[in-house]
Amino acid sequence: MEGWASKLKYIDAFPKVNEDFYQRTLSGGIITVGSTLLMVGLFLSELNLFLHVNTANELLVDTSRGEQLNINVDITFPAMPCEWMSLDVMDVSGDMHLDVDHDIFKKRLGPDGKPINHIGDKHKVGPEIRDPDANETVGCGSCYGAQSPEQECCHTCDEVRSAYRKKGWAFSDPQQIDQCAKEGFMTRMKEQEGEGCHLWGTLAVNKVAGNFHFAPGKSFQQGAMHVHDLVPFQTTHFDVSHSINALSFGKGYPGMRNPLDKVNARMLHNQNPEGKTGMFQYFLKVVPTSYTDIKNQTVSTNQFSVTEHFRQSDIAAGQNLPGVFFFYDLSPIKVRFNEERSSFTTFLTSLCAIIGGVFTVSGLIDAFIYHGQQVIKKKVDLGKQY
């Protein structure tokens, strides 16, 4: 113990002046060690704060105009065939895109959820009626009353369906359409029954409120109504259970979290205990966001919040089309994130404050202990101890 005590006395940073020499004490050595450890700890803490990148945020009014919004979607329907599904996009400006297939990809899934390998021509849409050898015999294919100046001939089943959509007519009986009968339209429908579908891609939409939805049947506009033709399926039960693998509005940034990623929705749930056909609705509030990193590179993107709702469908009455609907609205407030780091001068100032402050306080404590010991010692020498 005497050896340790002498060593602690030797490193006393607060030597005491006793007439013409310094006196080192045990308490001074202990305080020196403690204050040194405290300074090292505070230094490391301050260094960590200096090296750490902080993210500051601020709110401001979004003044951008005429921009487009990229919606990245990745969704899986385990019980809806790809041939049955269509994707429509529309907004409050009147812009409408029916049966979107640009930058949208589909993959057929078996009942077990695994992708189906395409073998030969078995899973293609169907043979084209229009070919060089048959031009003289086929001639101008009939559009069955739906022809227009822009489309006078319909050589394939899809062209007939397209002409019907432009007229706002329901495509009620494909078997009565010669092109559909030759291409095996109903055969394909039956062939994919029980399959699932994986859809993913990007939608470029106007930066205004709107919606996009996945629903069975080809869509068309009938007056002011948006209608999906469900007659060819010859059923009123559509299982639109789905898994949203990912959904985002724009690019991602560090720490970004999208509330609908990895969400699973099934027909059989608390609001629908009987598992009836219905429509899943997601109401999204999109907030424009910009993120500037420490290298001054800016990412313009969007965050969103969501409210979910389910409504049972009544196909016979034409109410509540079965499907998955995403209604989005944009916030007028923009969020801006900026990565920033403390300046070196601030770090240096804090470091000096730590060293000076700890040294000063330690000196005060040591002086208090030393003088207290001296007072007690004098009382002991005078025989006044208790």
Same domain? For 103 and 236 the reply is yes
What mean pLDDT is reported for the chain?
A: 81
Same domain? For 239 and 307 the reply is yes
| Alpha-carbon span 91 to 69, nearest angstrom | 12
Give the tokens for residue 165: 């959509």
Same domain? For 238 and 110 the reply is yes
> At 255, which helix (H) or strand (E)?
none
Q: How many residues does the chain have?
A: 386
Give the tokens for residue 51: 């090296």
Tens of pLDDT, residues 162-218: 787 777 776 667 777 888 888 777 777 777 788 899 999 999 999 999 999 999 887
What is the reported pLDDT for 172?
67
Task: Of 302, 110, 301, 248, give the one whose Cα is nearest residue 191.
Answer: 110
Domain boundary among 339, 362, 378: 339
Same domain? For 172 and 297 the reply is no
Domain housing 14: 1-52
How many domains does the chain contain in total? 3
What is the reported pLDDT for 15?
66
| Count of alpha carbons within 13 angstroms of residue 289, beta-carbon side | 22
Same domain? For 154 and 204 the reply is no
| Alpha-carbon span 47 to 31, nearest angstrom | 24
Backbone phi, psi, residue 377, to 5° = -65, -40
Rounding to the nearest 10 degrees, give the CA dihedral for residues 79, 82, 85, 87: 120
Residues 16 and 23: beta-carbon distance below 8 Å? yes
| Alpha-carbon span 17 to 20, nearest angstrom | 7
Same domain? For 176 and 242 the reply is no
* DSSP letter assigned to residue 279: E
Residues 358 and 34: beta-carbon distance below 8 Å? no
Q: Please name the residues in contact with 5: beta carbons below 8 A apart, sequence gap of 6 or more.
A: 26, 29
Question: 359 lies in a domain?
Answer: no
The mean pLDDT value for 121-148 works out to 53
Question: 9 lies in a domain?
Answer: yes
Q: Flag whether pLDDT at 157 surpasses 90.
A: no
| Alpha-carbon span 162 to 153, nearest angstrom | 11
Question: 378 lies in a domain?
Answer: no
Residues 349-377 as b or e (16 or more Cβ within 10 Å = b): ebbeebeeebbeebeebbeebbeeeeeee
Give the other-Cβ count within 10 Å of 76's Cβ. 19
Domain boundary among 339, 357, 372: 339
Same domain? For 210 and 259 the reply is yes
Pairing of strands 85-91, 68-77: unpaired
Task: Of 377, 265, 278, give the one whose Cα is nearest residue 322.
Answer: 278
Question: 298 lies in a domain?
Answer: yes
Pairing of strands 96-97, 85-91: antiparallel
Q: Which residue has the tokens 């070196």?
A: 344
Residues 201 and 73: beta-carbon distance below 8 Å? yes
Q: First-to-last CA distance in the chain?
A: 27
| Alpha-carbon span 81 to 195, nearest angstrom | 5
Same domain? For 237 and 293 the reply is yes
Give the tokens for residue 312: 């049972």
Task: Of 50, 58, 47, 55, give the one whose Cα is nearest residue 293.
Answer: 55
Q: Which residue has the tokens 């306080």?
A: 361
Q: Flag whether pLDDT at 128 surpasses 50.
A: no
* DSSP letter assigned to residue 35: H
Same domain? For 88 and 222 the reply is yes
Tens of pLDDT, residues 111-124: 888 888 654 333 33
Question: 11 lies in a domain?
Answer: yes
Question: 15 lies in a domain?
Answer: yes
Q: Flag whether pLDDT at 135 surpasses 70.
A: no
Range in 109-123, 145-159, 239-253 with the lowest mean pLDDT? 109-123
What is the reported pLDDT for 133?
41
Question: 41 lies in a domain?
Answer: yes
Residue type, 165: R
What is the reported pLDDT for 46?
84
Question: 351 lies in a domain?
Answer: no
Same domain? For 199 and 179 the reply is no
Q: Please name the residues in contact with 183: beta carbons below 8 A apart, sequence gap of 6 or more.
A: 125, 126, 127, 129, 156, 157
Residue type, 293: D
Same domain? For 223 and 259 the reply is yes
Q: Where are the beta strands (DSSP E) in 6-133?
A: 16-18, 21-23, 54-61, 68-77, 85-91, 96-97, 104-109
Residue 176, classed as helix, strand or coil, is helix
Same domain? For 87 and 209 the reply is yes
